[in-house]
Amino acid sequence: MYRQKRHTQRTIRTAAVAALVPLAVACGSEQGGQAGGGSSSAQPAAAVTGVRWSIDSVTVDGTTHRAPTDAHITIGAGGRSAGSYGCNTFSARTEVEGDRIRLSDPTATERACEGKPMAFEKTLARTLTDGGELKTEVNDGRLTLTASDGAVIRLKRSEDAPLKGTEWTVTTPDTRSRARLTFDPEENTVAGSLGCNEVNAEATVRDGHITLGVPAVTRMMCEDSLMDSERTLMKLFDSTVEYRIDHRTLTLTSENGISVRAVAE
């Protein structure tokens, strides 16, 4: 009787341990699943929205159409997206849900740009806004949008032009100006043309600001419009200006409110 009782107790303890093992595994699996889900769960909206995407191509019915250089889109998290088909700019109402986006009610300019493939613009516009939901897939800085009919738009993240080493052509205040500026990537200097005269000066870049030194300038005389623009640019020097780069556009704003805009060449 004693041996049988001990055997019975041992059997009960073994069964209890066996019952606990699956429970522990199940708990561990549940926690592991949560941890794994946290590390691998995608957040498409955050990965896709608020980024300027350059459009590489559109593939429709098996034919790939290459995009012009300026084609791009920024998918907005706030309900609107905006961009360029390559020539004409556009905006559209935007809905983002999980890994799907829907663009609708587009508005666009109606310019005809020489040397731009206008047929591409129509193809891109239809694919973006007429195909219903677009499935998003982000991989290594590239975005793929796939429509329900199989059409595919391929895009890549568009980086801002670097301040230093880029030749910046001044477009504002005078679009006719031939002014250009280049910040040296190794020296704290800036050099270029004010539209008529050549210029160089010290330029220290720090925390979104550029401290420009007293300029050394040639002394040529040009037509009045160029000289007016040059005098405006001269007011940026011997002071600290705020700078901002948006893709390929540089904006310099002086402490007294003068704003100069330039584009990367």
Return per-residue pLDDT of the chain as tens, 265 residues.
Answer: 444 444 444 443 444 333 433 333 333 433 333 333 333 344 456 689 989 999 999 999 999 999 998 899 999 878 999 999 999 999 999 999 989 999 999 999 998 888 778 899 999 999 999 868 999 999 999 999 999 999 999 999 988 899 999 999 999 887 677 899 999 999 999 999 999 999 999 999 999 999 999 999 999 999 888 898 899 999 999 999 999 998 889 999 999 889 999 999 7
The pLDDT, as a whole number, for residue 101 is 94
Q: How far apart are CA 233 and CA 236, in angstroms?
A: 6
pTM reported for the whole predicted model: 0.60
Enclosing H/E stretch for 111: none
Q: How far apart are CA 64 and CA 212, in angstroms?
A: 48
- What is the 8-class DSSP label of residue 75? -
The pLDDT, as a whole number, for residue 3 is 46
| Beta-carbon contacts of residue 16 (< 8 Å; ≥ 6 apart) | none
Whether the upstream peptide bond of residue 215 has omega within 30° of 0, thus cis, is: no
pLDDT in tens, 125-157: 999 998 689 999 999 999 999 999 999 999 999
- What is the 8-class DSSP label of residue 235? T
Query: Could you give phi then psi for residue 40, rounded to 5 degrees?
Result: -110, -10
| Beta-carbon contacts of residue 54 (< 8 Å; ≥ 6 apart) | 67, 71, 72, 155, 156, 157, 158
The pLDDT, as a whole number, for residue 205 is 97
CA 86 to chain centre: 16
- What is the 8-class DSSP label of residue 164? B
Tokens coding 86: 């390559």
Q: How far apart are CA 133 and CA 102, in angstroms?
A: 5
Q: How many CB atoms lie within 10 A of CB 217?
A: 16
